[in-house]
Amino acid sequence: VFAIASAAQADEEADLVVNGEIEITVRTSAPEHVDGLRDIYSGWVFRSDETQAMQMDDFDNPGMIFVEEAIEAFNTVEGSEGNSCASCHDTPENLAGARATHPKWNDNAEEIRTLGMQINGCRTEQMGAEPWAADKGDMLAMEALLASVSRGMPVNVQIDGPAEAAYELGRELYYTRTGQLDLSCASCHEQNYGNYIRADHLSQGQINGFPTYRLKNAKLNGVQSRFRGCVRDTRAETYAVNSPEFIALELYVASRGNGLSVEGPSVRN
């Protein structure tokens, strides 16, 4: 009866191949450590046909404009050491796989680093350059470039060893209800994915597609800013971007998608 009142329907059975060549795993069995899910799905699966199509060809993907910008930044010398990213990493393709494994433990810094933290680590420690603001233009563009060269590779975030403490904290936060609406990530993205909440078709809240180009705000969006939006919607006080809590939550949520392909920059509504 309510199909009429619902937003554009998605083809949940569709497969994603980018540019006719990069095969993207958008559904697969859940990793063993995720008790609440049998299968995992990319957020792409739940989007409308039109939004899905925009991600199938780089010419139609508005996120790719930022990838172009970042290629230039990659080759631009900045900071006191006379280095560009290319001085050490040669080409962006050399960093294929980095998106798939972050957040991850960095031995030298002795901390869990998100991809953005690692980029800033290289900027400040290796280049003597100013760090970029988290989840903003330059940083999201560079993250989009690094994601694009990892497209098709399986997300494979480590959860044991030095990552275990962050994993445990992130897991606890995922299942903790917050705010006056008293909802956890799991209330919406584990118990109710596939259901509509008002006009929104709920996905599993996976982050294999980040950064995402959202049609709603016509720009690239970062993982933790997305978390902030969702926590705010429970009428809760949110955590800050790059707080220990959100770094841990990012690691945990990434690990729930182990086995899906990296597909950023993705297109979402």
Which residues of the shown chain bind ligand HEC in the complex (CB under 6 A)? 43, 83, 85, 87-89, 95, 97-98, 106, 108, 118-119, 121-123, 126-127, 142, 146, 183, 185, 187-189, 197, 200, 202-203, 205-207, 209, 212, 226-227, 230-231, 233-234, 249, 253, 268
- Sole window of 101-109, 155-163, 170-178, 212-220 interacting with another protein (rule: CB under 8 A): 170-178
Residues forming a β-bridge with 217: none
Site string for another protein, 113-152 (x = CB under 8 A): ----------------------------------------
- Please give the structure tokens belonging to residue 154: 């399986």
Examine the residue annotation and report whether 230 is marked as an active-site residue of this protein.
yes
Retrieve residue 173's tokens: 């936060």
Distances from the Cα of 53 to the Cαs of 49, 58, 172, 217, in angstroms? 6, 10, 36, 19
Question: Would residue 79 be called left, alpha or beta, if left means φ above 0 and alpha means ψ between -120 and 50 degrees?
Answer: left
Tokens describing residue 146: 């690094």
By CB under 8 A, is residue 191 in contact with another protein? yes
User: What single string gives the DSSP state of each residue in 70-130?
Assistant: HHHHHT--BTTTTB-HHHHH-SGGGGTTHHHH-SEEETTTTEEE-HHHHHHHIIIIIS--P
Q: From another protein, ligand HEC, none, which one binds at residue 268 (CB under 5 to 8 Å depending on kind)?
A: ligand HEC
Going by C-alpha positions, the residue among 264, 253, 211 that lies closest to residue 231 is 253
Residue with structure tokens 């294999």? 208
Residue 75 touches which member of ligand HEC, another protein, none, C-beta under 5-8 Å by kind: none
Does residue 228 touch another protein according to CB under 8 A? Answer: yes
CB nearer to another protein: give 198 or 216: 198
> Interface with another protein by CB under 8 A: which residues?
1-2, 4-7, 176-183, 187-188, 191-192, 195-199, 228, 231-238
**Which residues form the catalytic set?**
230
